[in-house]
C-alpha cells in the first residue's frame, strides 16, 4: 500500500472523460443504406439520446482494480477463488484480508452479487459476481444469468448508495461467452437501470482490455447515442431482441397465463367469484413468512422510504468526501502527527490518539485536515473504537472552532458515531470543559455521555494500559511536572 497521504497509482474516475460527447476517431457510419433503413422504421429508437445518462458512463481502457470509485466489480467462480487476471489483480492490490473475508461469504451462485470491503484498494467496496458458462444449446439460460450479474450489481449500488461503480468484463474468455453478445447484455442492462433507477448513481465505468475496447466502442452508440444523429444511425443496428423494460431477456414460451379455473370459460359471473377468491390469496401461514421482496426493492428504487432515502443521501455525501480523501495529496497533514492509531483499551477496542498541540489551525488547510481525518478513520470505525484527545499545552492557534466540529460530525458516516465508545479528553481546562458541554448539549446528539474529562494520566491508565498508548513526550513531561510521576509507568522512562 502507498504511504499514507502520498499520491498513488490509483485513478480517480472523476478525471476520466465521460461518454456524453463524440470522441475524435470514433466511427461515424452515415451510409445511404442506413439512412434508408432508418426511414423505413416506424418507431423511434428504444434507446433514445439522453445527455444526462451519457454523462454517467465512462469507457476506460485499463485495470479495474486501479479505479478510485465507490465500488469495483470482481468476476469470479462460485467458490469466489477463481484464478483469472482481473481477480488476481484485485486480490494482489487489496491484500490478504480480502481472501479471509471471502471465506466468510461461503461462495456465490451464478448471477448473484455479494459485496466486501475494498481493503487496500482505492475503491471502498468490491462487488463479487459469477458469470455463466456459455453453451449454445443453453443460450437462454446463459443470457438470463449474465443479465442477473449486471442487474444485481446495479441493484446493490442503488441499495447501498454507491455513487460510482467500475465494471470489468464479467464474461471471462475461459467461460466461452461470445464477447459481442455479452457486451450487448451488459450495455442494455446498465442503460435500462440508469433510465429507471439511476438517480443516485453518478458514474458507471466500463473498464476494458485492448481486445474488448473496439467491441464496446462499436456497441456503445447503440445504447448510449451521443446525439440525435447518432441515435438515428444506430437504430438499424440494434438487435431485434432487446429484452423487457429492464433489459431482461424475454422468453415468449414462458409467458403462460394460468387461469383461475382451467377448463371453464371466463364470464362476468365468474369474475365476481374470482374477486372473492383473491381476497384469500396470501392469508395462509406460508405466505406470511416474508413480505414481497420485489415490492420492497421497488419502493427503495423509487425513493418512497423517506428515512432510508435520507440515510442514503448522507451516505452519498460521505462517499464523495472519502473519494476526495483517497485521491488528494495529504502528506503535509500527515507530517503533523496529530492523529494516529495506537493499541487497544482494556475492552480490546482500537485506540486512536488526537494531539491538539500538533494542529496549527491558522496555518493549515482545514478542509484538507477534514479529508485526512476521514482517510485515516474510515477503516478504523467499522468496529468499536475509542478516541483519546490530548488537550495538553494547546493555545488559541490550536483550537478547532465549533462550526468545523459540527461540519465534521454532520459529514461522517453513521458508523463513526455508533462505534465510538468513549472520548477521553485529557488535561482539560475550565474553558474547554464549558465549550465541550455546550457543543455536546446543543450542537450534536448522542455524544455527551461518551465524553470523559481526564485530569491526569493515572486516570487514563485505568482505562488504557500504559504500554497500549503512544503518548507524546511533552504530554508525559507536563503530567509528571503537574501531577507527579506517581505511576510505575514513569519508572521506565528517561528523566524528564
User: Do 37 and 137 share a domain, yes or no?
Assistant: yes
The per-residue pLDDT for 285 is 41
User: Do 244 and 361 share a domain, yes or no?
Assistant: no
Which is higher by pLDDT, 43 or 106? 106
The per-residue pLDDT for 35 is 45
- Residue 2, domain member (yes or no): no
- Residue 101, domain member (yes or no): yes
User: Do 127 and 229 share a domain, yes or no?
Assistant: yes
The per-residue pLDDT for 477 is 92
- Give ∠ CA 362-364-370 in degrees, rounded to 5: 115
User: Do 239 and 126 share a domain, yes or no?
Assistant: yes
Last residue of a domain, one of 252, 272, 298: 252
User: Do 247 and 382 share a domain, yes or no?
Assistant: no
User: Do 226 and 343 share a domain, yes or no?
Assistant: no
Q: What is the CATH number of the domain that holds 67?
A: 3.40.220.10
pLDDT bucket at 411, cuts 50 / 70 / 90: confident
* Residue 62 scores a pLDDT above 50: yes
- Residue 322, domain member (yes or no): no
* Mean pLDDT, all residues of the chain: 82
* Residue 161 scores a pLDDT above 60: yes
Give the position of cell 497509482: 9
User: Do 238 and 353 share a domain, yes or no?
Assistant: no
- Residue 127, domain member (yes or no): yes
Q: What is the CATH number of the domain that holds 426?
A: 3.40.525.10
Overall domain count for the chain: 2
* Residue 191 scores a pLDDT above 60: yes
Average pLDDT over residues 320-329: 82
User: Do 220 and 114 share a domain, yes or no?
Assistant: yes
- Residue 276, domain member (yes or no): no
* Residue 39 scores a pLDDT above 60: no
- Residue 476, domain member (yes or no): yes
pLDDT bucket at 250, cuts 50 / 70 / 90: confident
Per the structure, the complete domain to which residue 66 belongs is given by 11-252
User: Do 335 and 468 share a domain, yes or no?
Assistant: yes
Last residue of a domain, one of 252, 286, 304: 252
User: Do 248 and 393 share a domain, yes or no?
Assistant: no
User: Do 463 and 375 share a domain, yes or no?
Assistant: yes
Buried b (16+ CB within 10 A) or exposed e, 139-160: eebbbbbbbbbbbbbbbbbbee
The per-residue pLDDT for 299 is 57
Last residue of a domain, one of 252, 282, 314: 252
User: Do 117 and 235 share a domain, yes or no?
Assistant: yes
Element (H, E) at 218: helix 213-223
Spatial strand order in the sheet of 113-117:
57-61, 203-208, 164-167, 71-76, 125-130, 113-117
Q: For the chain, give the number of residues.
A: 496
Task: Please state, in angstroms and rounded to a whole number, the distance separating the CA atoms of residues 65 and 207.
Answer: 9
- Residue 125, domain member (yes or no): yes
Instruction: Take residue 429 and report the three cell numbers written for it.
Output: 481546562
Average pLDDT over residues 417-433: 90
pTM of the model: 0.56
Which is higher by pLDDT, 434 or 489? 434
Q: What φ, ψ does residue 362 adopt, rounded to 5°?
A: -75, -15
- Residue 376, domain member (yes or no): yes
Instruction: Give residues with Cβ within 8 angstroms of 492, minimum separation 6.
Output: none
132-146, 204-218, 277-291, 463-477: least confidently modelled range: 277-291
Amino acid at each position: 500500500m502507498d504511504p499514507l497521504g502520498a499520491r498513488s497509482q490509483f485513478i480517480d474516475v472523476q478525471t476520466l472523460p465521460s461518454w456524453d460527447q463524440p470522441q475524435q476517431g470514433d466511427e461515424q457510419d452515415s451510409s445511404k443504406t442506413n439512412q434508408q433503413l432508418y426511414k423505413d422504421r416506424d418507431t423511434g429508437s428504444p434507446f433514445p439520446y439522453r445527455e444526462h445518462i451519457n454523462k454517467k458512463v465512462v469507457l476506460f481502457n485499463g485495470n479495474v482494480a486501479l479505479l478510485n470509485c465507490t465500488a469495483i466489480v470482481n468476476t469470479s467462480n462460485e467458490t469466489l477463488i477463481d484464478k483469472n487476471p482481473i481477480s488476481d489483480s484485485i486480490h494482489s492490490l487489496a491484500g490478504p484480508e480480502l481472501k479471509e473475508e471471502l471465506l466468510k461469504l461461503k461462495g456465490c451462485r451464478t448471477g448473484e452479487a455479494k459485496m466486501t470491503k475494498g481493503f487496500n484498494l482505492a475503491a471502498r467496496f468490491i462487488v463479487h459476481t459469477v458469470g455463466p458458462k456459455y453453451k449454445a444449446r443453453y443460450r437462454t439460460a446463459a443470457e438470463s444469468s449474465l443479465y442477473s450479474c449486471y442487474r444485481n450489481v446495479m441493484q446493490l449500488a442503488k441499495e447501498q448508495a454507491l455513487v460510482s461503480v467500475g465494471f470489468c468484463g464479467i464474461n471471462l474468455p475461459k467461460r466461452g461467452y461470445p464477447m459481442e453478445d455479452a457486451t450487448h447484455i451488459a450495455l442494455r442492462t446498465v442503460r435500462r437501470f440508469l433510465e429507471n433507477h439511476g438517480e443516485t448513481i453518478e458514474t458507471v465505468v466500463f473498464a476494458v482490455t485492448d481486445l474488448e475496447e473496439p467491441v464496446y466502442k462499436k456497441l456503445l452508440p447503440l445504447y448510449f447515442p451521443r446525439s440525435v444523429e447518432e441515435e438515428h444511425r444506430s437504430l438499424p443496428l440494434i438487435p431485434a431482441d432487446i429484452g423487457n423494460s429492464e433489459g431482461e431477456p424475454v422468453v415468449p414460451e414462458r409467458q403462460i397465463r394460468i387461469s383461475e379455473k382451467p377448463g371453464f370459460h371466463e364470464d362476468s359471473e365468474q369474475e365476481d367469484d374470482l374477486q372473492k377468491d383473491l381476497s384469500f390469496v396470501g392469508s395462509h401461514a406460508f405466505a406470511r413468512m416474508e413480505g414481497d421482496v420485489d415490492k420492497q426493492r421497488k419502493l427503495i428504487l423509487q425513493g418512497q422510504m423517506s428515512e432510508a432515502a435520507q440515510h442514503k443521501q448522507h451516505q452519498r455525501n460521505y462517499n464523495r468526501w472519502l473519494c476526495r480523501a483517497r485521491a488528494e495529496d495529504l502528506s503535509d497533514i500527515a507530517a503533523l502527527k496529530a492523529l494516529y492509531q495506537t493499541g487497544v483499551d482494556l475492552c480490546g477496542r482500537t485506540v486512536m490518539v488526537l494531539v491538539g498541540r500538533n494542529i496549527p489551525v491558522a496555518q493549515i488547510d482545514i478542509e484538507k485536515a477534514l479529508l485526512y481525518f476521514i482517510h485515516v478513520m474510515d477503516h478504523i470505525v467499522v468496529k468499536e473504537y475509542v478516541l483519546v484527545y490530548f488537550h495538553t499545552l494547546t493555545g488559541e492557534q490550536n483550537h478547532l472552532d465549533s462550526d468545523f466540529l459540527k461540519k465534521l460530525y454532520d459529514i461522517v458516516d453513521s458508523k463513526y458515531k455508533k462505534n465510538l465508545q468513549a472520548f477521553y479528553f485529557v488535561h482539560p481546562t475550565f474553558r474547554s470543559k464549558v465549550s465541550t458541554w455546550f457543543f455536546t448539549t446543543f450542537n450534536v446528539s448522542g455524544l455527551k455521555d461518551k465524553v470523559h474529562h481526564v485530569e491526569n494520566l493515572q486516570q487514563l491508565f485505568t482505562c488504557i494500559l500504559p504500554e497500549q498508548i503512544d503518548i507524546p513526550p511533552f504530554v508525559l513531561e507536563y503530567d509528571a511536572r503537574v501531577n507527579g510521576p506517581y505511576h510505575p509507568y514513569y519508572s521506565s522512562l528517561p528523566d524528564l
